[in-house]
Chain A
Amino acid sequence: MIVEFGHFALVLALAVAVVQMLVPMWGAYRRNAALMAVAEPAAMIQFVLIAASFAALTYAFVTSDFSLVLVVQNSHTLKPMLYKISGVWGNHEGSLLLWALILALFGACAAWFGGNLPPTLKARVIAVQGSIGVAFLTFMLFTSNPFLRLAVPPLDGQDLNPLLQDPGLAFHPPFLYLGYVGLSMAFSFAVAALIEGRVDAAWGRWVRPWTLAAWIFLTIGIALGSWWAYYELGWGGFWFWDPVENASFMPWLLAAALLHSAIVVEKRESLKAWTILLAIMAFGFSLIGTFIVRSGVITSVHSFANDPERGVFILMILAVFMGGALTLFAFRAGTMEAKGLFAMVSRESALVANNLLLSVAAFVVFIGTIWPLLAELFFDRKLSVGEPFFNAAFSPFAVALAVILPIGAMMPWKRGELVRGMRPLIPAMLLAFSVGALVWAMQTGRTALGPVGVALGIWVVLGAGIDLWSRTGRGPVAGRIARLGRLPRADWGKVTAHAGMGITVFAVCAMLAWKTEDIRIVQEGASYPLGPYEVTLQSVEEVQGPNYRSTQATMVVRRDGALVATLTPEKRFYPVQAMPTTEAAIDYGFLRDIYLVIGDPQDGGGYAVRSYIEPFANWLWGGCLIMAFGGFLSLSDRRYRVAAGASRRTAAVPAE
């Protein structure tokens, strides 16, 4: 009964979305306030209906209602409650429902928080958001209905893929979707502005918080996914350049570019057409990501098993939205005149360079991801593109970005001088160079990656600090420190996010350059050295879990005789899916993680054991979180609440 209610709510949501798409758009065209006013209640009702539908599906999973195909395929009575709930979105149909729910949530948020938007723009934004809802709800109801029943329900389900039964992965998709789908708001704003025919500073200010929110969620989502891969897949890697990872990385890069170019629109009324194009492309890459994950065209470790019919449908959605938006763009781009003027050396130019690097980097990832497909289609060659290509083709962009970041961040608007602009950064430069050189000298015979990472990390983090300090103006130190606290949150956000980026770059290089690996057979009770540590395989036991059997080792790590940690790596076997998983045991540390994996028993006795020392692993996730926190600080700046409200009274005021 509850399931039927959920199914019905979903169909009703589609009907509401159709109304939301058509009526406000027509109202905005006719300048009819009553028709435009339909937008708000429609967006909210659509959200409530999809939320009800989502709740019904969750109820079916929680109560293990095996008359639903989806529950049978992805759940099991013995599964822990957390994974019964996360099982709702651990599959194609359910994750699509989550996608639609978040889409409707953003539409409803535009209705709630959009009070300061001009009425026609607001109506059009919500209508465009509604049209995306129509596309995805139709897709779901016709090709991927989560509410299909079985005539004869089985006694128990087939369980969720054991790799997905993990707290990290339980929360990874919701964050990722909040990011992916959040970019739909930037898209809706861009299309609405194109229809409206006007892009000004106020538009830049309105679109920026939505992009920022989407970018924060994407950052957290990607970090969670990478952390999951690190501890769950059992070989301590954190990024594999897998098509699905790339699918989330491309929108992140473009969202980062969009964030920066929207600043130029807001502050200087330049780069308008480019910003609109970025907003369209960022959401386009979200859709391409959806296509890659769900069509099965490009094989990947993470993708849902799939049929081509769905792929064709998503491709059609992609063609309609991208084709439509880009055509509109082609007609209207000429009308968006830039106002602000600036010189070759200026903050504006630095932000153009940032955008160029970020978007070309996204393009490189894109071509690498789809090249196997293109090569097979056009050249009849079956080939692969993997880590070595991406490392070689992508890294230069990351390095270039990190090098120009501190200089660009401190460059004045309109017109600056390169030499004068770099003067305050000299200490950071010197320190970065000398520490990099010192590290280079200390580690003979290894890659240059480590020293480069150290130098870049110091340069970016210290550069961010100097940037913040320079914002306090001149005068005695005490006064400047007092002024630090009064700086706008946007300044703190910018500096925090940049420092987080520096930390992340450093951690990536450190982990790739200085990882220690050890593979060997260890007898029970025996010890072996691992770097400065001594590891003892104390015992190995068979343990029964709720829905798995486990071979659990107890391993003791000592340093100079003192106990560092007792770790219990496991090898689990999930009988329902007949699938083994490795559960690495990790001793998290500030400077290093000790990472132990237990393998098969060997013929001659003993067990295969893999051990790693992962240097600065936590700095990687920490850096990402700091980046996201910086975005959050910037989002909470009062400018978005106060100034955005002020602009309603005087139509379009130029920023500042």
Chain B
Amino acid sequence: MTRFLLVLMLAFAPLSPAFAVQPDEVLADPALEARARAISRDLRCPVCQGESIDDSNAPISRDLRLVVRERIMAGDTDAEVIDFVVSRYGEFVLFNPRAEGANLILWLAGPGVLLLGGLGAFLYIRRRGQAVAPAEALTADEQARLRELMNK
């Protein structure tokens, strides 16, 4: 049934020339509204192509925005609001994937590769640097010869 509804909404989405957050949705309290906006920017519109519900014109996004505001008014914390939406639409709607389970690969890939790459670069540079040292340092004989010349 939900799937059917989604298809229906998808079919009519292009016909509804709405635009994102409507004036009638905005909460009276600016602090609560700011929280709602921040949360909606992290939630993906389930039927659009990669838009957040904050940016999306689809009717379902409007419904989700209203749900978010309802939960906030009911006294939920940000995390509770997001859990509420995820429990109904799945983690697909989360733009900020949770750092747990397989997603740890995603979150740790950048720092991990940076560490490995940094180590590789460090070893490479040290090798290039070690090759410099003997070429520039003087041997004991050369030191002696230098002193000799200087003292003349």
Contacts and interface: CB of A to CB of B under 8 A. Distances in A.
A245 to B, nearest CB: 10
A382 B97 CA distance: 11
Given A363-B113, A597-B19, A599-B18, A383 B131 contact: no
B75 interface: no
B110 A580 contact: no
B53 to A, nearest CB: 11
A230 interface: no
A573 B17 CA distance: 9
Contact of A234 (B19, B50, B91, B110): B19
B36 interface: no
Contact of A384 (B22, B94, B109): B94
Given A243-B50, A341-B131, A387-B95, A356 B15 contact: no
Nearest to A415: B132
A579 B14 contact: yes
Interface string A325-340: 0000000000000101
A342 B129 contact: yes
B78 interface: no
A242 B55 CA distance: 13
B24 to A, nearest CB: 8
A352 B126 CA distance: 12
Interface stretch (A2-10, A83-91, A201-209, A367-375): A367-375
A388 B125 contact: no
B20 A386 contact: no
A356 B118 contact: yes
Interface string B99-125: 001110011011001100110010011
Nearest to A237: B55
B21 interface: yes
Interface in A523-578: 571, 573, 578
Contacts of A414: 132
A435 interface: no
B64 to A, nearest CB: 14
Interface string B68-93: 00000000000000000000001111
Interface stretch (B2-10, B41-49, B140-148): B41-49
Given A237-B55, A352-B125, A520-B23, A385 B106 contact: yes
A356 B117 contact: yes
A393 B41 contact: no
A387 B42 CA distance: 8
A342 B132 contact: yes
Interface in A340-391: 340-344, 348-349, 352-353, 356, 359-360, 363-364, 367-368, 371, 375, 378-379, 381-389
A434 interface: no
Contacts of B91: 381-384
Interface residues of A, number: 62
A384 B48 CA distance: 12
A166 interface: no
A155 interface: no
A367 B102 CA distance: 13
A381 B129 contact: no
A521 interface: yes
Interface in B15-71: 15, 17-24, 26, 41-42, 44, 49-52, 55
A196 interface: no
A519 interface: yes
Nearest to B118: A356
Interface in A279-330: 299-301, 303
A610 interface: yes
Contacts of A602: 23-24
Contacts of A364: 109-110
B128 interface: yes
A519 B26 contact: yes
A383 B44 CA distance: 10
Contacts of B92: 382-384
Given A235-B55, A300-B49, A341-B132, A385 B95 contact: yes
A414 to B, nearest CB: 8
A608 interface: yes
A240 interface: yes
B149 interface: no
A387 B50 CA distance: 10
B150 interface: no
B137 interface: no
B109 A343 contact: no
A184 interface: no
B90 A360 contact: no
B1 interface: no
B26 to A, nearest CB: 6
A270 interface: yes
A520 B24 CA distance: 8
Nearest to A572: B17
B116 to A, nearest CB: 9
B19 A242 contact: no
11 contacts: A359-B117, A378-B102, A383-B91, A384-B44, A384-B95, A384-B97, A386-B44, A386-B52, A387-B41, A415-B132, A608-B22
Given A242-B50, A383-B92, 13 more contacts: A235-B19, A299-B49, A341-B132, A356-B114, A360-B110, A364-B110, A367-B109, A381-B102, A382-B91, A382-B92, A573-B17, A602-B23, A602-B24
Top 5 A-B pairs, shortest CB-CB distance:
A386-B95, A580-B17, A388-B96, A364-B110, A379-B102
